[in-house]
Amino acid sequence: MLYFVLRRIGVMVLTAIALTFIVFYMTNLPPNLEKLAKSEASVRMADDAVASWLENNGYGGPVLVRYGEWLGVMPGWTREGEDGTLRGRCIANGTDPATAPRFCGILQGNWGFSTVFKQPVTEVLARSLGATGWLMLWVMIVMVPSSLLLGVLSGMREGSRTDRVLSTFAITTTATPEYVSGVILIALLASATAGISPILAEAGWISGKTLFPGTATSAMDDITFWNFFLPVMTIALYGIGYIARMTRASMTEVMTQQYIRTARLKGVSFRQVVMKHALRNALIAPFTVIMLQFPWLLNGVVIVETLFNYKGFGWTLVQAAGNNDIDTLLACSVVAVFVVLVTQLISDIGYVFLNPRIRLA
Amino acid sequence: MSEPWDPSKPILEIENLSISFFTRLREIPAVMDFSCTVMAGEAMGLVGESGCGKSTVALAVMRDLGKNGRITGGSIRFKGRDLTLMSEEELRHIRGSEIAMIYQEPMASLNPAMKIGAQLAEVPMIHQGMSRDEAWKLARQIVADVRLPDPDRIVNAYPHQLSGGQQQRIVIAMALMSKPALLILDEPTTALDVTVEAGIVDLVKDLGEKYGTSMLFISHNLGLVLDVCDRLCVMYSGEAVETGNVEEVFDKMRHPYTQALFRSIPLPGADKNARPLVAIPGNFPLPHERPQGCNFGPRCSYFVEGRCNAQDIPMVAVPDGHRHETRCLRSTEIDWSTPPAAGKVTEKAEIGRVVLKLDDLKKYYSVGTSAFGGGMQKVVKANETLSFEAREGETLAIVGESGCGKSTFAKVLMGLETATSGQIMLFDENVQSTPIQMRGTDTISKLQMVFQNPFDTLNPSMTVGRQIIRALEIFDYGNSDAERHARMLELLDLVKLPRAFADRMPRQLSGGQKQRVGIARAFAGGAKVVVADEPVSALDVSVQAAVTDLLMDIQRKNKTTLLFISHDLSIVRYLSDRVMVMYLGHVVEMGTTDQVFAPPYHPYTEALLSAVPIADTRVQKSRIVLEGDIPSAVNPPPGCPFQTRCRWKAQVAGGLCEKEVPPVRMLEGGHQIKCHLPDAVLASMEPVIKIAAE
CB atoms A265 and B374 under 8 Å: no
- Domain end residue (candidates: A79, A108, A137): A108
pLDDT in tens, B523-539: 887 888 888 888 887 77
Is residue A361 a part of any domain in this protein?
no
Q: How far is B16 from chain A, CA to nearest CA, in Å?
A: 24
C-alpha distances out from residue A207 to A197, A203, A210, Å: 11, 10, 8
| pLDDT(A165) > 90 | yes
Residue type present at position B632? S
Higher pLDDT, B94 or A289: B94
Is residue B158 a part of any domain in this protein?
yes
| pLDDT(B95) > 90 | no
Distance CA(A81)–CA(A202), nearest Å, equals: 68
CB atoms A268 and B122 under 8 Å: yes
Enumerate long-range contacts of A179-184, CB under 8 Å, 24 or more apart: A179/A303, A179/A307, A181/A234, A181/A237, A181/A238, A182/A230, A182/A231, A182/A234, A182/A303, A182/A304, A182/A307, A182/A308, A183/A307
CB atoms B97 and A356 under 8 Å: no
Q: Which of A265, A269, A280 sits opposite B62 (nearest CB)?
A: A265
Q: Is B244 helix (H, G, I), strand (E, B) or coil?
A: strand
CB atoms A262 and B374 under 8 Å: no
Could you tell me if B18 and B70 lie in one domain?
Answer: yes
Nearest-Å Rg of the Cα atoms of chain A is 26
Query: Which residues, 6 or more positions from A37, have their beta carbon under 8 angstroms from its beta carbon?
Result: A45, A50, A53, A54, A57, A59
Measured in degrees and rounded to the nearest 5, phi and psi for residue B592 equal: -70, 165
In A, minimum Cα distance to B375 occurs at A361
Length of chain B: 694
- Domain end residue (candidates: B550, B576, B602): B576
- Apex B567 CA angle, B562 and B569, nearest 5: 85
Q: Which of B103, B369, B372 sits opposite A262 (nearest CB)?
A: B103
First to last CA, chain B: 51
Could you tell me if B131 and B56 lie in one domain?
Answer: yes
Exposed e or buried b for every residue in B390-424, given b needs 16+ CB within 10 A? bbbbbbbbbbbbebbbbbbbbbbbbbebbbbebeb
Chain CA centroid to CA A224, Å = 22
B372 interface with A at CB cutoff 8 Å: yes
Could you tell me if B592 and B567 lie in one domain?
Answer: no
The answer to whether the pTM exceeds 0.80 is no
Could you tell me if A101 and A156 lie in one domain?
Answer: no
Could you tell me if A187 and A331 lie in one domain?
Answer: yes
Q: Which domain holds residue B531?
A: 353-576
Helices in chain A by DSSP H: which ranges? Answer: 2-27, 30-40, 47-56, 63-71, 121-156, 161-174, 178-189, 197-203, 225-255, 258-265, 270-272, 279-307, 313-322, 326-354
CB atoms A259 and B97 under 8 Å: no
Distance CA(B219)–CA(B217), nearest Å, equals: 6
Distance CA(B123)–CA(A34), nearest Å, equals: 76
Query: Which residues, 6 or more positions from B289, have their beta carbon under 8 angstroms from its beta carbon?
Result: none
pLDDT of residue A172: 92
Distance CA(B577)–CA(B597), nearest Å, equals: 12
- From chain B residues 158-217, the ones with a CB under 8 A of any chain A CB are 158, 160, 171, 174
Q: Which of A258, A266, A356 sits opposite B113 (nearest CB)?
A: A356
| pLDDT(B544) > 60 | yes
- pLDDT-derived band at B1, boundaries 50, 70, 90: very low
Q: How far is A254 from chain B, CA to nearest CA, in Å?
A: 10
pLDDT of residue B631: 77
Nearest to residue B116, comparing CAs of B81, B159, B74, B75?
A: B159
Could you tell me if A54 and A191 lie in one domain?
Answer: no
Distance CA(B313)–CA(B329), nearest Å, equals: 7
pLDDT of residue A296: 76
Distance CA(B449)–CA(B340), nearest Å, equals: 33
Distance CA(B85)–CA(A308), nearest Å, equals: 61
Give contacts of B103 with chain A, Cβ < 8 Å.
258, 261-262
In chain A, what's the furthest Cα-to-Cα distance?
90
Is residue B303 a part of any domain in this protein?
no
pLDDT in tens, A30-85: 888 888 888 777 777 788 888 888 887 777 778 888 888 888 777 777 777 666 66
Enumerate the β-bridge partners of residue B398: B565, B580
Could you tell me if B548 and B665 lie in one domain?
Answer: no
Give me the number of domains chain A comprises: 2
Is residue A159 a part of any domain in this protein?
yes
Could you tell me if B126 and B222 lie in one domain?
Answer: yes
B108 interface with A at CB cutoff 8 Å: yes
- Domain end residue (candidates: A61, A77, A108): A108
Q: What is the mean pLDDT of chain B?
A: 82
pLDDT of residue A116: 82
- pLDDT-derived band at A293, boundaries 50, 70, 90: confident
Is residue A259 a part of any domain in this protein?
yes
Nearest to residue A308, comparing CAs of A224, A238, A219, A239?
A: A219
Q: What is the mean pLDDT of chain A?
A: 82
Is residue B275 a part of any domain in this protein?
no
Q: How far is B414 from chain A, CA to nearest CA, in Å?
A: 33
- Domain end residue (candidates: A82, A108, A134): A108
Q: Is B251 helix (H, G, I), strand (E, B) or coil?
A: helix
pLDDT of residue B370: 45
Give contacts of A263 with chain B, Cβ < 8 Å.
111, 122
Could you tell me if B435 and B531 lie in one domain?
Answer: yes
Q: Which of B96, B109, B369 sits opposite A361 (nearest CB)?
A: B369
- pLDDT-derived band at A311, boundaries 50, 70, 90: confident
B105 interface with A at CB cutoff 8 Å: yes
Could you tell me if A258 and A212 lie in one domain?
Answer: yes
Beta strand segments in B39-107, E: 43-47, 69-78, 81-82, 99-102
| pLDDT(B90) > 80 | yes
Burial of residue A91, with CB atoms counted within 10 A of its CB: 0-12 exposed, 13-18 middle, 19 or more buried: buried
The answer to whether B656 and B646 have CB atoms below 8 angstroms apart is: no
Give contacts of B96 with chain A, Cβ < 8 Å.
265-268
First to last CA, chain A: 5
Could you tell me if B516 and B610 lie in one domain?
Answer: no
Q: Is A184 helix (H, G, I), strand (E, B) or coil?
A: helix
- pLDDT-derived band at A94, boundaries 50, 70, 90: low
Measured in degrees and rounded to the nearest 5, phi and psi for residue A279 equal: -55, -50
Is residue B2 a part of any domain in this protein?
no
Q: Which domain holds residue A288?
A: 121-354
Is residue B344 a part of any domain in this protein?
no
Distance CA(B257)–CA(A205), nearest Å, equals: 81
- Domain end residue (candidates: B194, B229, B264): B229
CB atoms A4 and B372 under 8 Å: yes
Could you tell me if B198 and B86 lie in one domain?
Answer: yes
Q: How far is A217 from chain B, CA to nearest CA, in Å?
A: 46
pLDDT of residue A361: 38
Q: What percent of chain A has pLDDT over 70?
A: 93
Is residue B124 a part of any domain in this protein?
yes
Q: How far is A155 from chain B, CA to nearest CA, in Å?
A: 15
Q: Which of B97, B109, B370 sits opposite A262 (nearest CB)?
A: B109
Beta strand segments in B474-618, E: 529-533, 561-566, 578-583, 586-592
Could you tell me if B527 and B665 lie in one domain?
Answer: no
Distance CA(B492)–CA(A319), nearest Å, equals: 74
Nearest to residue B258, comparing CAs of B198, B331, B357?
A: B331
Give me the number of domains chain B comprises: 3
Could you tell me if B554 and B585 lie in one domain?
Answer: no
pLDDT of residue A168: 92
CB atoms A356 and B105 under 8 Å: no
- Apex A25 CA angle, A21 and A27, nearest 5: 115
Q: Is B187 helix (H, G, I), strand (E, B) or coil?
A: coil
pLDDT of residue A219: 77
Could you tell me if B542 and B664 lie in one domain?
Answer: no
DSSP symbol at B181: S
- pLDDT-derived band at B694, boundaries 50, 70, 90: very low
Could you tell me if A14 and A145 lie in one domain?
Answer: no
| pLDDT(A101) > 80 | no
Is residue B651 a part of any domain in this protein?
yes
Number of A/B CB contacts below 8 angstroms equals 88
Q: What is the 3-state secondary structure (H, E, C) of B256-301?
A: HHHHHHHHHCCCECEECCCECCCCCCCCCCCHHHCCCCCCCHHHCC
Query: Which residues, 6 or more positions from B652, have their beta carbon under 8 angstroms from its beta carbon?
Result: B676, B677, B678
- Domain end residue (candidates: B201, B229, B257): B229
CB atoms B109 and A261 under 8 Å: yes
The answer to whether B534 and B518 have CB atoms below 8 angstroms apart is: no
Could you tell me if B108 and B171 lie in one domain?
Answer: yes
Is residue A359 a part of any domain in this protein?
no
CB atoms B96 and A360 under 8 Å: no
Distance CA(B128)–CA(B130), nearest Å, equals: 5
DSSP codes joined into one string, B395-425: EEEEE--TTSSHHHHHHHHHTSS--SEEEEE
| CATH number where A269 lies | 1.10.3720.10
Nearest-Å Rg of the Cα atoms of chain B is 27
Enumerate long-range contacts of B338-343, CB under 8 Å, 24 or more apart: B340/B263, B340/B278, B341/B278, B342/B275, B343/B275, B343/B276, B343/B277, B343/B278
The answer to whether A51 and A61 have CB atoms below 8 angstroms apart is: no
pLDDT of residue A92: 67
- pLDDT-derived band at B372, boundaries 50, 70, 90: very low
Strands B447-450 and B529-533: parallel
